[in-house]
Structure 1
Amino acid sequence: MSWGTVGSMSTSTETTAVESTTTAAATTASEFDRDTAVTLRAPGVYDADLSAGWTIIQAVNGGYLLALLGRALGDHLPHPDPFTISAHYLTPSVPGPAVIRTETVRTGRTLSTGQASLFQYAEDGTEVERIRVLASYGDLDALADDVRTTATPPAMAPIENCFSAADNPAPRIPGSSAIADRLDLRLDPACVGWAVGAPSGKGEMRAWFGLADGREPDALSLLLTVDALPPTSFELGLKGWTPTVELTTHIRCRPAPGPLRVSITTRNLAGGFLEEDAEVWDSADRLVAQSRQLARAPRG
Protein backbone atom coordinates (compact mmCIF):
# COMPACT_ATOMS: atom_id res chain seq x y z
CA MET A 1 0.00 0.00 0.00
CA SER A 2 1.21 3.36 -0.75
CA TRP A 3 1.71 5.70 2.01
CA GLY A 4 3.28 7.44 -0.99
CA THR A 5 3.67 6.72 -4.69
CA VAL A 6 6.17 5.64 -7.37
CA GLY A 7 6.39 6.49 -10.32
CA SER A 8 2.65 19.53 -20.47
CA MET A 9 2.11 22.15 -17.66
CA SER A 10 0.24 25.30 -18.65
CA THR A 11 0.54 27.02 -22.01
CA SER A 12 0.30 30.76 -22.45
CA THR A 13 -3.19 30.46 -23.93
CA GLU A 14 -4.43 28.52 -20.91
CA THR A 15 -3.60 31.35 -18.55
CA THR A 16 -6.11 33.61 -20.27
CA ALA A 17 -9.04 31.43 -19.28
CA VAL A 18 -11.37 32.61 -16.56
CA GLU A 19 -10.48 30.80 -13.34
CA SER A 20 -13.15 29.20 -11.19
CA THR A 21 -12.76 26.94 -8.20
CA THR A 22 -14.68 23.68 -8.50
CA THR A 23 -16.78 21.75 -6.03
CA ALA A 24 -14.67 22.24 -2.89
CA ALA A 25 -13.81 25.84 -2.13
CA ALA A 26 -10.52 26.52 -0.43
CA THR A 27 -12.42 28.14 2.44
CA THR A 28 -14.30 24.95 3.33
CA ALA A 29 -14.04 23.73 6.91
CA SER A 30 -12.71 20.29 5.97
CA GLU A 31 -8.99 19.89 5.33
CA PHE A 32 -9.75 17.13 2.84
CA ASP A 33 -12.04 19.34 0.77
CA ARG A 34 -9.67 22.29 0.97
CA ASP A 35 -6.64 20.24 -0.02
CA THR A 36 -8.37 18.46 -2.91
CA ALA A 37 -9.80 21.67 -4.36
CA VAL A 38 -9.05 22.24 -8.04
CA THR A 39 -9.38 25.43 -10.07
CA LEU A 40 -10.58 25.39 -13.66
CA ARG A 41 -8.10 27.31 -15.81
CA ALA A 42 -9.25 26.28 -19.29
CA PRO A 43 -11.62 23.61 -20.64
CA GLY A 44 -10.35 20.33 -19.21
CA VAL A 45 -7.38 21.95 -17.43
CA TYR A 46 -7.27 22.38 -13.64
CA ASP A 47 -4.73 23.90 -11.28
CA ALA A 48 -4.12 22.20 -7.93
CA ASP A 49 -1.77 22.50 -4.99
CA LEU A 50 -0.53 19.25 -3.44
CA SER A 51 -0.59 19.77 0.32
CA ALA A 52 2.32 18.63 2.49
CA GLY A 53 -0.30 17.59 5.03
CA TRP A 54 -0.96 14.34 3.15
CA THR A 55 2.60 13.03 2.97
CA ILE A 56 4.13 9.86 4.36
CA ILE A 57 7.90 9.32 4.44
CA GLN A 58 8.26 12.54 2.38
CA ALA A 59 5.98 11.25 -0.42
CA VAL A 60 2.43 12.41 -1.22
CA ASN A 61 -0.09 9.69 -0.37
CA GLY A 62 -1.53 7.85 -3.36
CA GLY A 63 -5.13 7.87 -2.09
CA TYR A 64 -5.03 11.64 -1.61
CA LEU A 65 -3.76 12.02 -5.19
CA LEU A 66 -6.52 9.73 -6.43
CA ALA A 67 -9.15 11.87 -4.68
CA LEU A 68 -7.65 15.03 -6.19
CA LEU A 69 -7.85 13.61 -9.71
CA GLY A 70 -11.27 12.19 -8.90
CA ARG A 71 -12.54 15.65 -8.01
CA ALA A 72 -11.28 17.10 -11.29
CA LEU A 73 -12.93 14.30 -13.30
CA GLY A 74 -16.16 14.73 -11.35
CA ASP A 75 -16.23 18.35 -12.45
CA HIS A 76 -15.30 17.57 -16.05
CA LEU A 77 -17.67 14.63 -16.71
CA PRO A 78 -21.48 14.87 -16.85
CA HIS A 79 -21.98 12.22 -14.13
CA PRO A 80 -21.13 13.11 -10.51
CA ASP A 81 -19.77 9.98 -8.83
CA PRO A 82 -16.74 7.74 -9.43
CA PHE A 83 -17.79 4.13 -10.06
CA THR A 84 -14.39 2.76 -11.04
CA ILE A 85 -11.06 4.52 -11.28
CA SER A 86 -7.70 2.99 -12.21
CA ALA A 87 -4.50 4.89 -11.57
CA HIS A 88 -0.92 4.30 -12.65
CA TYR A 89 1.64 6.10 -10.50
CA LEU A 90 4.50 7.07 -12.80
CA THR A 91 6.82 9.27 -10.72
CA PRO A 92 6.77 10.39 -7.07
CA SER A 93 4.61 13.47 -6.48
CA VAL A 94 5.87 16.24 -4.21
CA PRO A 95 4.01 18.97 -2.30
CA GLY A 96 3.43 22.08 -4.37
CA PRO A 97 1.73 23.27 -7.57
CA ALA A 98 0.35 20.80 -10.09
CA VAL A 99 -1.84 20.83 -13.15
CA ILE A 100 -4.46 18.23 -14.05
CA ARG A 101 -5.52 17.67 -17.65
CA THR A 102 -8.78 15.83 -18.20
CA GLU A 103 -10.33 14.34 -21.32
CA THR A 104 -13.74 12.82 -22.03
CA VAL A 105 -13.47 9.37 -23.58
CA ARG A 106 -17.17 8.53 -23.89
CA THR A 107 -20.49 9.64 -22.45
CA GLY A 108 -23.66 7.59 -22.17
CA ARG A 109 -26.96 7.65 -20.33
CA THR A 110 -25.78 5.94 -17.13
CA LEU A 111 -21.99 6.15 -17.34
CA SER A 112 -19.37 8.55 -18.63
CA THR A 113 -15.70 7.68 -19.01
CA GLY A 114 -12.74 10.01 -18.87
CA GLN A 115 -9.03 10.11 -18.31
CA ALA A 116 -6.82 12.52 -16.42
CA SER A 117 -3.13 13.12 -15.81
CA LEU A 118 -1.40 15.13 -13.11
CA PHE A 119 1.79 17.01 -13.98
CA GLN A 120 4.44 18.92 -12.03
CA TYR A 121 7.63 20.73 -12.97
CA ALA A 122 11.00 19.09 -12.36
CA GLU A 123 13.94 21.09 -10.99
CA ASP A 124 15.22 21.74 -14.52
CA GLY A 125 11.86 23.21 -15.53
CA THR A 126 10.67 20.26 -17.60
CA GLU A 127 7.17 18.95 -17.21
CA VAL A 128 6.82 15.55 -15.50
CA GLU A 129 3.72 13.36 -15.48
CA ARG A 130 3.12 11.99 -11.99
CA ILE A 131 -0.06 9.93 -12.28
CA ARG A 132 -2.50 8.91 -15.02
CA VAL A 133 -6.05 7.63 -14.44
CA LEU A 134 -8.91 6.18 -16.44
CA ALA A 135 -12.32 6.31 -14.77
CA SER A 136 -16.03 5.71 -15.29
CA TYR A 137 -18.52 7.95 -13.48
CA GLY A 138 -22.23 7.53 -12.82
CA ASP A 139 -24.90 8.52 -10.29
CA LEU A 140 -24.82 6.47 -7.07
CA ASP A 141 -28.29 7.71 -6.15
CA ALA A 142 -29.70 6.14 -9.33
CA LEU A 143 -28.49 2.60 -8.54
CA ALA A 144 -31.04 -0.20 -8.24
CA ASP A 145 -32.04 -1.37 -4.75
CA ASP A 146 -31.19 -5.03 -5.45
CA VAL A 147 -28.25 -5.89 -3.14
CA ARG A 148 -26.95 -9.46 -2.78
CA THR A 149 -23.70 -9.20 -0.85
CA THR A 150 -22.24 -12.52 0.27
CA ALA A 151 -19.17 -10.88 1.82
CA THR A 152 -19.33 -10.01 5.52
CA PRO A 153 -17.82 -7.10 7.45
CA PRO A 154 -14.36 -7.73 8.90
CA ALA A 155 -14.10 -9.16 12.39
CA MET A 156 -12.59 -6.31 14.39
CA ALA A 157 -12.32 -5.18 17.97
CA PRO A 158 -14.76 -2.43 19.02
CA ILE A 159 -13.50 1.02 18.14
CA GLU A 160 -12.88 1.90 21.79
CA ASN A 161 -10.50 -1.07 22.08
CA CYS A 162 -8.46 -0.19 18.99
CA PHE A 163 -5.22 1.80 18.86
CA SER A 164 -4.88 5.39 17.70
CA ALA A 165 -1.74 7.49 17.25
CA ALA A 166 -2.31 8.87 20.76
CA ASP A 167 -1.96 5.47 22.40
CA ASN A 168 1.20 4.07 23.97
CA PRO A 169 2.85 2.23 22.37
CA ALA A 170 1.73 4.39 19.47
CA PRO A 171 1.60 2.64 16.07
CA ARG A 172 3.64 5.36 14.38
CA ILE A 173 4.90 5.14 10.83
CA PRO A 174 8.68 5.29 10.31
CA GLY A 175 9.74 8.68 8.93
CA SER A 176 7.54 11.69 8.26
CA SER A 177 3.84 10.93 8.71
CA ALA A 178 1.94 14.20 8.35
CA ILE A 179 -1.07 12.34 6.96
CA ALA A 180 -1.61 10.63 10.32
CA ASP A 181 -2.61 13.98 11.85
CA ARG A 182 -5.48 14.28 9.35
CA LEU A 183 -6.93 10.84 9.97
CA ASP A 184 -8.90 9.35 12.84
CA LEU A 185 -7.41 5.89 12.46
CA ARG A 186 -8.01 3.15 15.05
CA LEU A 187 -5.99 0.03 14.29
CA ASP A 188 -7.24 -3.41 15.26
CA PRO A 189 -5.01 -4.77 18.08
CA ALA A 190 -4.46 -7.92 16.01
CA CYS A 191 -2.66 -5.82 13.36
CA VAL A 192 -0.28 -3.65 15.40
CA GLY A 193 2.47 -6.14 16.21
CA TRP A 194 4.77 -4.24 13.85
CA ALA A 195 4.54 -1.18 16.12
CA VAL A 196 6.14 -3.07 19.02
CA GLY A 197 8.63 -5.07 16.99
CA ALA A 198 6.50 -8.21 16.76
CA PRO A 199 4.82 -8.33 13.32
CA SER A 200 2.32 -11.16 12.86
CA GLY A 201 3.58 -12.18 9.42
CA LYS A 202 -0.02 -12.45 8.17
CA GLY A 203 -0.09 -9.55 5.70
CA GLU A 204 -3.29 -8.09 7.17
CA MET A 205 -4.26 -4.58 8.25
CA ARG A 206 -7.64 -3.57 9.70
CA ALA A 207 -8.84 -0.30 11.18
CA TRP A 208 -11.75 1.97 11.94
CA PHE A 209 -11.37 5.02 9.72
CA GLY A 210 -12.54 8.61 9.69
CA LEU A 211 -11.19 12.07 8.98
CA ALA A 212 -9.77 13.85 12.03
CA ASP A 213 -11.89 16.97 11.50
CA GLY A 214 -15.11 14.93 11.57
CA ARG A 215 -16.00 15.23 7.90
CA GLU A 216 -18.44 12.47 6.99
CA PRO A 217 -17.46 9.98 4.27
CA ASP A 218 -18.65 10.28 0.69
CA ALA A 219 -17.75 8.76 -2.66
CA LEU A 220 -14.75 11.04 -3.12
CA SER A 221 -13.24 10.47 0.32
CA LEU A 222 -13.50 6.71 -0.24
CA LEU A 223 -10.75 7.14 -2.85
CA LEU A 224 -8.51 8.25 0.00
CA THR A 225 -9.79 5.62 2.42
CA VAL A 226 -8.67 2.60 0.39
CA ASP A 227 -5.04 3.79 0.60
CA ALA A 228 -4.94 5.37 4.05
CA LEU A 229 -3.91 2.52 6.35
CA PRO A 230 -0.32 1.50 7.12
CA PRO A 231 0.86 -0.99 4.49
CA THR A 232 0.42 -4.71 5.08
CA SER A 233 4.16 -5.05 4.51
CA PHE A 234 4.68 -3.76 8.07
CA GLU A 235 2.90 -6.85 9.43
CA LEU A 236 5.09 -8.94 7.12
CA GLY A 237 8.13 -7.63 8.97
CA LEU A 238 9.27 -5.09 6.37
CA LYS A 239 9.97 -1.42 7.02
CA GLY A 240 9.97 1.60 4.76
CA TRP A 241 8.09 3.12 1.87
CA THR A 242 5.73 0.85 -0.08
CA PRO A 243 5.13 2.84 -3.30
CA THR A 244 2.04 2.11 -5.36
CA VAL A 245 2.49 1.05 -8.97
CA GLU A 246 -1.22 0.73 -9.86
CA LEU A 247 -4.45 1.17 -7.89
CA THR A 248 -7.98 0.32 -9.04
CA THR A 249 -10.92 1.35 -6.86
CA HIS A 250 -14.62 0.52 -7.19
CA ILE A 251 -17.16 2.71 -5.38
CA ARG A 252 -20.22 0.50 -4.81
CA CYS A 253 -22.62 2.84 -3.01
CA ARG A 254 -22.75 6.11 -1.12
CA PRO A 255 -21.53 5.51 2.46
CA ALA A 256 -23.73 6.12 5.49
CA PRO A 257 -22.51 8.66 8.06
CA GLY A 258 -20.19 7.38 10.76
CA PRO A 259 -16.89 5.55 11.02
CA LEU A 260 -15.79 3.17 8.29
CA ARG A 261 -14.20 -0.25 8.71
CA VAL A 262 -11.29 -1.01 6.40
CA SER A 263 -9.76 -4.43 5.85
CA ILE A 264 -6.66 -4.96 3.70
CA THR A 265 -4.97 -8.27 2.89
CA THR A 266 -1.85 -9.37 1.04
CA ARG A 267 -1.54 -12.99 -0.05
CA ASN A 268 1.40 -12.88 -2.45
CA LEU A 269 4.62 -10.95 -1.91
CA ALA A 270 6.93 -12.12 -4.68
CA GLY A 271 9.63 -10.70 -6.91
CA GLY A 272 9.77 -7.44 -4.98
CA PHE A 273 6.05 -6.66 -5.44
CA LEU A 274 2.90 -7.27 -3.42
CA GLU A 275 -0.83 -6.82 -3.91
CA GLU A 276 -3.22 -5.26 -1.42
CA ASP A 277 -6.92 -6.04 -1.58
CA ALA A 278 -9.08 -3.61 0.38
CA GLU A 279 -12.72 -3.61 1.48
CA VAL A 280 -14.45 -0.61 3.04
CA TRP A 281 -17.64 -1.09 5.07
CA ASP A 282 -19.87 1.69 6.36
CA SER A 283 -21.84 2.05 9.60
CA ALA A 284 -24.87 0.41 7.95
CA ASP A 285 -22.85 -2.76 7.18
CA ARG A 286 -22.74 -2.00 3.46
CA LEU A 287 -19.69 -2.83 1.37
CA VAL A 288 -19.16 0.65 -0.05
CA ALA A 289 -15.74 0.36 -1.74
CA GLN A 290 -13.31 -2.28 -2.97
CA SER A 291 -9.82 -1.88 -4.34
CA ARG A 292 -6.71 -3.73 -5.44
CA GLN A 293 -3.28 -2.26 -5.81
CA LEU A 294 0.11 -3.48 -6.88
CA ALA A 295 2.96 -1.99 -4.87
CA ARG A 296 6.70 -2.33 -4.60
CA ALA A 297 7.77 -4.13 -1.45
CA PRO A 298 10.06 -2.20 0.90
CA ARG A 299 13.69 -3.21 0.72
CA GLY A 300 14.05 -3.25 4.50
Structure 2
Amino acid sequence: MSDATLSRSEFDRDTAIHPREPGVYDVSLSPGWAIGHALNGGYLLAVICRALGEALPHPDPFTVSAHYLTASTAGPAVIRTDTARVGRTLSTGSAGLFQTEEDGEEVERIRVIATYGDLDALPDDVRTSAKPPAFPPPEQCFSTKDQPGGEDAGPEMGKRLDLRLDPSTCGWAVGAPSGEGKMRAWFGLADGRDADPLSLLMAVDALPPTAFELGLSGWVPTVELTVHVRCRPAPGPLRVSITTRNLAGGYLEEDTEIWDSEDRLVTQARQLARALK
Protein backbone atom coordinates (compact mmCIF):
# COMPACT_ATOMS: atom_id res chain seq x y z
CA MET A 1 0.00 0.00 0.00
CA SER A 2 1.44 3.35 -1.03
CA ASP A 3 2.16 6.23 1.34
CA ALA A 4 -0.40 8.31 -0.56
CA THR A 5 -3.14 5.76 0.14
CA LEU A 6 -2.14 5.45 3.77
CA SER A 7 -2.28 9.22 4.24
CA ARG A 8 -5.94 9.34 3.25
CA SER A 9 -7.33 7.05 5.94
CA GLU A 10 -6.65 7.02 9.65
CA PHE A 11 -7.62 3.36 9.79
CA ASP A 12 -4.99 2.45 7.21
CA ARG A 13 -2.32 4.55 8.88
CA ASP A 14 -3.09 3.04 12.28
CA THR A 15 -3.01 -0.54 10.98
CA ALA A 16 0.25 -0.05 9.06
CA ILE A 17 2.90 -2.76 9.43
CA HIS A 18 6.67 -2.51 8.96
CA PRO A 19 8.57 -5.67 7.94
CA ARG A 20 11.54 -6.43 10.19
CA GLU A 21 12.45 -9.78 8.65
CA PRO A 22 10.48 -12.49 6.81
CA GLY A 23 7.28 -13.16 8.76
CA VAL A 24 8.01 -10.55 11.47
CA TYR A 25 6.43 -7.09 11.50
CA ASP A 26 6.78 -4.07 13.77
CA VAL A 27 3.65 -2.03 14.45
CA SER A 28 2.70 1.06 16.43
CA LEU A 29 -0.71 0.57 18.04
CA SER A 30 -2.68 3.81 18.08
CA PRO A 31 -4.49 5.15 21.18
CA GLY A 32 -7.22 6.37 18.84
CA TRP A 33 -8.87 2.94 18.87
CA ALA A 34 -9.17 2.59 22.63
CA ILE A 35 -12.29 1.56 24.54
CA GLY A 36 -11.52 2.76 28.04
CA HIS A 37 -8.03 1.66 29.05
CA ALA A 38 -7.63 -1.09 26.42
CA LEU A 39 -7.48 -1.14 22.63
CA ASN A 40 -10.46 -2.49 20.73
CA GLY A 41 -10.22 -6.16 19.81
CA GLY A 42 -11.49 -5.64 16.26
CA TYR A 43 -8.87 -2.97 15.57
CA LEU A 44 -6.14 -5.28 16.86
CA LEU A 45 -7.46 -8.13 14.72
CA ALA A 46 -7.26 -5.90 11.64
CA VAL A 47 -3.62 -5.03 12.43
CA ILE A 48 -2.66 -8.69 12.82
CA CYS A 49 -4.53 -9.73 9.69
CA ARG A 50 -2.82 -7.02 7.65
CA ALA A 51 0.45 -8.72 8.62
CA LEU A 52 -0.93 -12.17 7.75
CA GLY A 53 -2.08 -10.79 4.40
CA GLU A 54 1.52 -9.83 3.68
CA ALA A 55 2.92 -13.16 4.85
CA LEU A 56 0.45 -15.40 2.95
CA PRO A 57 0.14 -15.56 -0.86
CA HIS A 58 -3.65 -15.03 -0.94
CA PRO A 59 -5.05 -11.51 -0.40
CA ASP A 60 -8.23 -11.82 1.66
CA PRO A 61 -9.13 -13.22 5.09
CA PHE A 62 -11.85 -15.88 4.72
CA THR A 63 -11.97 -17.13 8.30
CA VAL A 64 -10.11 -15.77 11.30
CA SER A 65 -10.10 -17.03 14.89
CA ALA A 66 -8.46 -14.95 17.61
CA HIS A 67 -7.83 -15.69 21.28
CA TYR A 68 -7.27 -12.60 23.41
CA LEU A 69 -4.74 -13.45 26.12
CA THR A 70 -4.10 -10.09 27.81
CA ALA A 71 -5.22 -6.52 27.15
CA SER A 72 -3.19 -4.63 24.54
CA THR A 73 -2.15 -1.02 25.03
CA ALA A 74 -1.13 1.76 22.67
CA GLY A 75 2.50 1.79 21.62
CA PRO A 76 5.02 -0.49 19.93
CA ALA A 77 4.29 -4.16 19.29
CA VAL A 78 5.61 -6.95 17.11
CA ILE A 79 3.65 -9.50 15.07
CA ARG A 80 5.22 -12.88 14.33
CA THR A 81 3.59 -14.99 11.65
CA ASP A 82 3.91 -18.63 10.63
CA THR A 83 2.66 -20.21 7.42
CA ALA A 84 1.00 -23.57 8.01
CA ARG A 85 -0.10 -24.49 4.48
CA VAL A 86 -0.29 -22.96 1.01
CA GLY A 87 -2.74 -24.40 -1.52
CA ARG A 88 -4.03 -23.29 -4.89
CA THR A 89 -7.11 -21.45 -3.60
CA LEU A 90 -6.49 -21.16 0.15
CA SER A 91 -3.55 -20.57 2.47
CA THR A 92 -3.47 -20.87 6.26
CA GLY A 93 -1.23 -19.27 8.82
CA SER A 94 -1.01 -18.16 12.42
CA ALA A 95 0.21 -15.00 14.11
CA GLY A 96 0.89 -13.65 17.56
CA LEU A 97 0.97 -10.04 18.69
CA PHE A 98 3.56 -9.31 21.39
CA GLN A 99 4.35 -6.30 23.58
CA THR A 100 7.19 -5.68 26.00
CA GLU A 101 6.23 -4.93 29.60
CA GLU A 102 7.96 -2.31 31.78
CA ASP A 103 10.13 -5.03 33.33
CA GLY A 104 11.43 -5.98 29.89
CA GLU A 105 9.44 -9.20 29.60
CA GLU A 106 7.78 -9.84 26.24
CA VAL A 107 4.13 -10.87 26.59
CA GLU A 108 1.87 -12.33 23.93
CA ARG A 109 -1.38 -10.40 23.75
CA ILE A 110 -3.31 -12.21 21.00
CA ARG A 111 -2.98 -15.51 19.11
CA VAL A 112 -4.64 -15.79 15.69
CA ILE A 113 -5.10 -18.56 13.13
CA ALA A 114 -6.56 -17.63 9.76
CA THR A 115 -7.28 -18.96 6.29
CA TYR A 116 -6.94 -16.60 3.33
CA GLY A 117 -8.21 -16.78 -0.23
CA ASP A 118 -9.32 -14.47 -3.03
CA LEU A 119 -12.82 -13.04 -2.59
CA ASP A 120 -12.88 -11.84 -6.19
CA ALA A 121 -12.49 -15.43 -7.42
CA LEU A 122 -15.64 -16.72 -5.66
CA PRO A 123 -18.68 -17.74 -7.76
CA ASP A 124 -21.76 -15.49 -7.80
CA ASP A 125 -24.20 -18.24 -6.77
CA VAL A 126 -26.05 -17.31 -3.53
CA ARG A 127 -28.72 -19.45 -1.86
CA THR A 128 -29.70 -18.04 1.51
CA SER A 129 -32.55 -17.68 3.94
CA ALA A 130 -30.81 -14.80 5.73
CA LYS A 131 -32.49 -11.40 5.58
CA PRO A 132 -30.93 -7.99 6.25
CA PRO A 133 -31.95 -6.38 9.56
CA ALA A 134 -34.78 -3.87 9.45
CA PHE A 135 -34.28 -0.64 11.39
CA PRO A 136 -34.69 3.10 10.73
CA PRO A 137 -32.59 4.99 8.17
CA PRO A 138 -29.39 6.66 9.42
CA GLU A 139 -30.97 10.08 9.89
CA GLN A 140 -33.47 8.57 12.35
CA CYS A 141 -30.83 6.73 14.38
CA PHE A 142 -28.61 7.95 17.24
CA SER A 143 -25.06 9.12 16.60
CA THR A 144 -22.28 10.04 19.01
CA LYS A 145 -23.56 13.63 18.91
CA ASP A 146 -26.76 12.44 20.62
CA GLN A 147 -25.05 11.02 23.70
CA PRO A 148 -26.47 12.39 26.97
CA GLY A 149 -22.96 13.35 28.10
CA GLY A 150 -22.03 14.99 24.80
CA GLU A 151 -19.95 13.86 21.85
CA ASP A 152 -16.73 13.64 23.90
CA ALA A 153 -18.30 11.42 26.57
CA GLY A 154 -17.89 8.23 24.54
CA PRO A 155 -14.79 6.10 23.96
CA GLU A 156 -11.90 7.43 21.89
CA MET A 157 -12.63 4.92 19.14
CA GLY A 158 -16.10 6.39 18.65
CA LYS A 159 -14.59 9.57 17.21
CA ARG A 160 -13.19 7.55 14.31
CA LEU A 161 -16.49 5.89 13.43
CA ASP A 162 -19.75 7.02 11.88
CA LEU A 163 -22.09 4.90 14.00
CA ARG A 164 -25.87 5.39 13.85
CA LEU A 165 -27.48 3.19 16.50
CA ASP A 166 -30.98 1.79 16.14
CA PRO A 167 -33.05 3.67 18.76
CA SER A 168 -34.69 0.42 19.89
CA THR A 169 -31.28 -0.82 21.08
CA CYS A 170 -30.26 2.40 22.87
CA GLY A 171 -32.28 2.18 26.08
CA TRP A 172 -29.07 1.59 28.05
CA ALA A 173 -27.84 5.09 27.16
CA VAL A 174 -30.68 6.70 29.15
CA GLY A 175 -30.79 4.17 31.98
CA ALA A 176 -33.61 2.08 30.51
CA PRO A 177 -32.11 -1.06 28.94
CA SER A 178 -34.59 -3.22 27.05
CA GLY A 179 -33.47 -6.49 28.64
CA GLU A 180 -32.93 -7.94 25.16
CA GLY A 181 -29.41 -8.78 24.05
CA LYS A 182 -29.52 -6.87 20.78
CA MET A 183 -27.49 -4.07 19.20
CA ARG A 184 -27.94 -2.72 15.68
CA ALA A 185 -26.36 0.17 13.82
CA TRP A 186 -25.40 1.74 10.54
CA PHE A 187 -21.62 1.64 10.36
CA GLY A 188 -18.93 3.56 8.52
CA LEU A 189 -15.57 5.16 9.13
CA ALA A 190 -15.71 8.85 10.04
CA ASP A 191 -13.21 9.78 7.33
CA GLY A 192 -15.40 8.25 4.62
CA ARG A 193 -13.15 5.31 3.78
CA ASP A 194 -15.19 2.53 2.18
CA ALA A 195 -15.28 -0.86 3.85
CA ASP A 196 -12.96 -3.69 2.82
CA PRO A 197 -12.22 -7.11 4.34
CA LEU A 198 -9.78 -5.66 6.91
CA SER A 199 -12.17 -3.00 8.16
CA LEU A 200 -14.91 -5.64 8.39
CA LEU A 201 -12.74 -7.43 10.96
CA MET A 202 -12.82 -4.26 13.03
CA ALA A 203 -16.52 -3.59 12.44
CA VAL A 204 -17.67 -6.86 14.02
CA ASP A 205 -16.39 -5.58 17.39
CA ALA A 206 -17.13 -1.86 17.04
CA LEU A 207 -20.65 -1.49 18.45
CA PRO A 208 -21.50 -1.08 22.14
CA PRO A 209 -21.76 -4.54 23.74
CA THR A 210 -25.13 -6.25 23.87
CA ALA A 211 -24.55 -6.61 27.62
CA PHE A 212 -25.54 -2.94 27.96
CA GLU A 213 -29.08 -3.75 26.80
CA LEU A 214 -29.11 -6.65 29.28
CA GLY A 215 -28.62 -4.15 32.10
CA LEU A 216 -24.85 -4.47 32.63
CA SER A 217 -22.54 -1.49 32.34
CA GLY A 218 -19.02 -2.80 32.93
CA TRP A 219 -16.18 -3.71 30.59
CA VAL A 220 -16.93 -6.68 28.29
CA PRO A 221 -13.53 -8.03 27.18
CA THR A 222 -13.40 -10.51 24.31
CA VAL A 223 -12.10 -14.00 25.12
CA GLU A 224 -12.35 -15.48 21.61
CA LEU A 225 -13.56 -14.06 18.30
CA THR A 226 -14.17 -15.89 15.03
CA VAL A 227 -14.98 -13.97 11.84
CA HIS A 228 -16.07 -15.25 8.43
CA VAL A 229 -15.72 -12.76 5.56
CA ARG A 230 -18.16 -13.91 2.87
CA CYS A 231 -17.65 -11.35 0.08
CA ARG A 232 -16.08 -8.00 -0.66
CA PRO A 233 -18.49 -5.24 0.48
CA ALA A 234 -19.97 -2.72 -1.94
CA PRO A 235 -19.25 0.97 -1.27
CA GLY A 236 -21.58 2.69 1.17
CA PRO A 237 -22.75 2.26 4.76
CA LEU A 238 -22.95 -1.14 6.40
CA ARG A 239 -25.70 -2.51 8.62
CA VAL A 240 -24.45 -4.36 11.68
CA SER A 241 -26.71 -6.57 13.79
CA ILE A 242 -25.52 -8.27 17.00
CA THR A 243 -27.50 -10.68 19.15
CA THR A 244 -26.85 -12.40 22.48
CA ARG A 245 -29.10 -15.29 23.48
CA ASN A 246 -27.31 -16.55 26.58
CA LEU A 247 -25.49 -14.79 29.39
CA ALA A 248 -24.49 -17.34 32.01
CA GLY A 249 -21.66 -17.80 34.46
CA GLY A 250 -20.36 -14.32 33.71
CA TYR A 251 -19.86 -15.00 29.98
CA LEU A 252 -21.96 -14.23 26.92
CA GLU A 253 -21.81 -14.88 23.18
CA GLU A 254 -22.34 -12.23 20.51
CA ASP A 255 -23.48 -13.33 17.04
CA THR A 256 -22.82 -10.65 14.43
CA GLU A 257 -24.02 -10.14 10.87
CA ILE A 258 -22.83 -7.35 8.59
CA TRP A 259 -24.77 -6.40 5.46
CA ASP A 260 -23.54 -4.08 2.72
CA SER A 261 -25.39 -1.40 0.73
CA GLU A 262 -26.50 -4.02 -1.82
CA ASP A 263 -28.20 -6.15 0.87
CA ARG A 264 -25.51 -8.83 0.79
CA LEU A 265 -24.43 -10.65 3.93
CA VAL A 266 -20.72 -9.85 3.79
CA THR A 267 -19.55 -10.95 7.25
CA GLN A 268 -20.59 -13.28 10.06
CA ALA A 269 -18.91 -13.52 13.44
CA ARG A 270 -19.25 -15.02 16.89
CA GLN A 271 -17.37 -14.09 20.01
CA LEU A 272 -17.28 -15.23 23.59
CA ALA A 273 -16.92 -12.32 25.99
CA ARG A 274 -16.71 -11.88 29.72
CA ALA A 275 -19.35 -9.68 31.35
CA LEU A 276 -17.68 -7.69 34.14
CA LYS A 277 -19.91 -5.75 36.51
Q: Any conservation in 2 of the 1:106–1:114 contact (CA below 8 Å)? A: yes
2:198 is aligned with 1:220: yes
What's the TM-score once normalised by structure 2's chain length? 0.97
Distance 1:93 1:266 in 2: 25
Q: Which runs of 5+ in 1 are unaligned?
A: 1-22
Distance 2:72 2:152 in 1: 19
Distance 2:128 2:204 in 1: 19
2:276 maps to what in 1? 298
Q: Any conservation in 2 of the 1:233–1:298 contact (CA below 8 Å)? A: no
Distance 2:187 2:172 in 1: 19
Distance 1:173 1:250, change over 3 A: farther
Q: Letter of the aligned partner of 2:168 in structure 1?
A: A
How much has 1:171 moved relative to structure 2?
8.5
Query: 1:92 aligned to 50, 71, 95, which one?
Result: 71
How much has 1:169 moved relative to structure 2?
3.4
Matches within 5 A, 1:219-298: 219-298=197-276
Of all paired residues, the percent bearing the same amino acid is: 71
Query: 2:85 aligned to 97, 106, 120, which one?
Result: 106
| Larger relative contact order (CA 8 Å, sep ≥ 6) | 1
Matches within 5 A, 1:137-286: 137-167=116-146, 169=148, 177-286=155-264
How much has 1:262 moved relative to structure 2?
0.1
Q: Which runs of 5+ in 2 are unaligned?
A: none
Which shows bigger deviation, 160-169 or 207-216? 160-169
Distance 1:67 1:44 in 2: 17
Deviations 1:71-109 (A, max 9, x none): 000011000000000000000000000000001000000
Deviations 1:212-257 (A, max 9, x none): 0000001110000000000000001101210000000000000000
Distance 1:173 1:207 in 2: 19
How much has 1:57 moved relative to structure 2?
1.0
Distance 1:195 1:158 in 2: 20
- Equivalenced residue count is 276
Q: Any conservation in 2 of the 1:277–1:291 contact (CA below 8 Å)? A: yes
Distance 1:178 1:24 in 2: 27
Q: Letter of the aligned partner of 2:116 in structure 1?
A: Y
Q: Letter of the aligned partner of 1:93 in structure 2?
A: S
Q: Any conservation in 1 of the 2:77–2:98 contact (CA below 8 Å)? A: yes
1:6 maps to what in 2? none
Deviations 1:102-133 (A, max 9, x none): 01000000000000000000110000000000
Q: Any conservation in 2 of the 1:170–1:195 contact (CA below 8 Å)? A: no
What's the TM-score once normalised by structure 1's chain length? 0.90
1:124 maps to what in 2? 103
What SS does the aligned partner of 1:201 have? coil
Q: Letter of the aligned partner of 1:128 in structure 2?
A: V
Distance 1:171 1:196, change over 3 A: farther
2:22 is aligned with 1:43: yes
Distance 1:50 1:24 in 2: 19
